[in-house]
Amino acid sequence: REVAEISIKDIDQIGKSSFPLCMRHLFEKLREDHHLKHGGRMQLGLFLKGVGLKLEDALAFWKAEFSQRVGSERFDKEYAYSIRHNYGREGKRTDYTPYSCQKIITSAPGVGDHHGCPYRHFSEENLRAALGKMGISNRAVEDVMDKVRNRHYQLACTLTFEAVHGTSCDAGINHPNQYFSDSQKVLQS
């Protein structure tokens, strides 16, 4: 059974179990800083839309964080529009699709940005620490680092998926939302 919708109250728990590392990182930073720059808001926001967070919930979710930093008035004025925009409710009314791994890996996060692919954009030290927090074995971490050194970032993510879920992922990871739905399939089977 695929998850058709997720609610805000489940999001932390479901994030820990089923978000790929790129989204876990953005999610943690948002909770920590109550803020994300534009690139991070787009990458995480469209991903969350893809996993089934409804517009009303998305607005409440982002507002709860951002208003701690910039106040709720400024959130309504400066940030709510772009969230509605992502959902195709503003501007050209395009229903924007979540970013693929390819797009994320080739993005160029600058100083203070948290978007991008950790396998591509983290330092070795930070990546090892992040993988450690996901609770995967030292042996698996070494296998992942080996793929990273050879610039096979999606294979590194696939190995992480396999280590976290204790099952093989033959198709490989090519989209964060695919990581999520494959994870949910494993956890619900």
With CB under 6 A as the rule, give the number of residues binding ligand SF4. 15
What residues numbered 140-159 form the site for ligand SF4, per CB under 6 A? 153-154, 157
- Judge contact between 90 and 84, C-beta under 8 A: yes
Q: Which residue's CB is nearer to ligand SF4, number 86 or number 183?
A: 183
Residue 48 binding ligand SF4, by CB under 6 A: no
Among 25, 12, 23, residue whose Cα is nearest residue 127: 25
| C-alpha span between 143 and 169 (Å, rounded) | 15
Which residues does 89 contact at the CB level (< 8 Å), separation at least 6? 55
Q: Which residue's CB is nearer to ligand SF4, number 17 or number 67?
A: 17
To the nearest whole angstrom, how small is the minimum distance from the Cβ of residue 23 to ligand SF4?
7
Matching residue, tokens 């991903």: 47
To the nearest whole angstrom, how small is the minimum distance from the Cβ of residue 118 to ligand SF4?
6
Burial of 27 (0-12, 13-18, 19+ CB in 10 A): buried
The string of DSSP codes covering 54-87 is -HHHHHHHHHHHHHHHH-HHHIIIIIHHHHHHHT
Choose the stretch contacting ligand SF4; rule: CB under 6 A; options: 16-24, 32-40, 73-81, 136-144.
16-24
**Residue of the chain from 27, 62, 75, 179 that contacts ligand SF4 (CB under 6 A):** 179
Residue 22 binding ligand SF4, by CB under 6 A: yes
Residue 44 binding ligand SF4, by CB under 6 A: no
What residues numbered 92-121 form the site for ligand SF4, per CB under 6 A? 101, 104-105, 117-119
34 vs 27, 70, 157, CA distance in Å?
10, 9, 27
Q: Which residue's CB is nearer to ligand SF4, number 66 or number 120?
A: 120
* Positions in the binding site for ligand SF4 (CB under 6 A): 20-22, 101, 104-105, 117-119, 153-154, 157, 173, 176, 179
